[in-house]
């Protein structure tokens, strides 16, 4: 079964969350690895494992990043990694899949569905076969023990509970 190497220079693990009810804060993780095995003829034999350095969170605001790394949120000293390990994958349509796996954040593991789309495939200028994927899921951060918040005078809370996760992955097929 073909092993795919993730080209992290052309890939991203990003997220967004509501701030003060209306605004959206976007961020990503700068350090992560993934192992992808992809069987195009029988996608159910495919698998994904990923490890994210939780301390590599980057929202372009150092004070916010420090707060997100603290015990109020990710507690990166106690829980330095976020992991995902697939259990199964199902084809939902042509080049669309549902990847179901165990996501561990802040020491809490939850079975998590991820919608995956194969965006394209082709040879790069150096003769390597590349396959590109986009993956999306929505998490409730409180399910993972990330409960810190602050009520606003005008109603609502400072940080939304729903986290939208988007991962874009460019892979190179092993020869």
* Dihedral of alpha carbons 140, 141, 147, 151, sign: negative
Domains of the chain, residue spans:
13-112+140-161
Look at 19 and 85; give whichever has higher pLDDT. Answer: 85
Would the pLDDT of 157 be above 60? Answer: no
What confidence tens digit (pLDDT) does each residue in 131-145 have? Answer: 999 999 999 989 998
3-class secondary structure for 137-159?
EEEEHHHHCCCCCCECCCCCECE
Our separate counts of H helices and E strands in the chain read 1, 11
Q: What is the percentage of the chain residues whose pLDDT exceeds 70?
A: 93
Provide the whole-model pTM.
0.91
What confidence tens digit (pLDDT) does each residue in 36-62 have? Answer: 999 888 888 999 999 999 999 999 999
Q: Domain 13-112+140-161: give its CATH code.
A: 2.40.128.110
Phi, psi at residue 165, to the nearest 5°?
-110, 130
**Mean pLDDT for all residues in the chain:** 91
- Give the burial class of 111: count Cβ atoms within 10 A of its Cβ; 0-12 exposed, 13-18 middle, 19 or more buried: exposed
Q: What is the pLDDT of residue 118?
A: 94
H helices present in 56-127, as ranges: 62-69
């Amino acid at each position: 079964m073909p092993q795919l190497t993730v080209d992290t220079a052309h890939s991203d693990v990003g997220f967004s969350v509501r701030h003060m009810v209306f605004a959206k804060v976007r961020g990503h993780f700068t350090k992560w690895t993934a192992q992808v095995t992809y069987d195009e003829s029988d996608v159910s034999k495919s698998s994904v494992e990923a490890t994210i350095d939780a301390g590599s969170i980057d929202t372009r605001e150092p004070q916010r990043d420090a707060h997100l790394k603290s015990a109020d949120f990710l507690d990166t000293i106690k829980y330095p990694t976020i992991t995902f390990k697939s259990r199964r994958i199902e084809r939902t349509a042509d080049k669309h899949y549902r990847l179901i796996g165990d996501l561990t954040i802040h020491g809490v593991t939850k079975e998590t569905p991820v919608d995956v789309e194969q965006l394209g495939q082709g040879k790069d200028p150096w003769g390597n076969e590349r396959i590109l994927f986009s993956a999306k899921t929505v998490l409730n951060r409180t399910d993972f023990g990330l409960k810190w918040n602050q009520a606003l005078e005008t109603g609502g809370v400072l940080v939304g509970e729903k986290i939208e996760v988007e991962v874009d992955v460019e892979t190179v097929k092993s020869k």
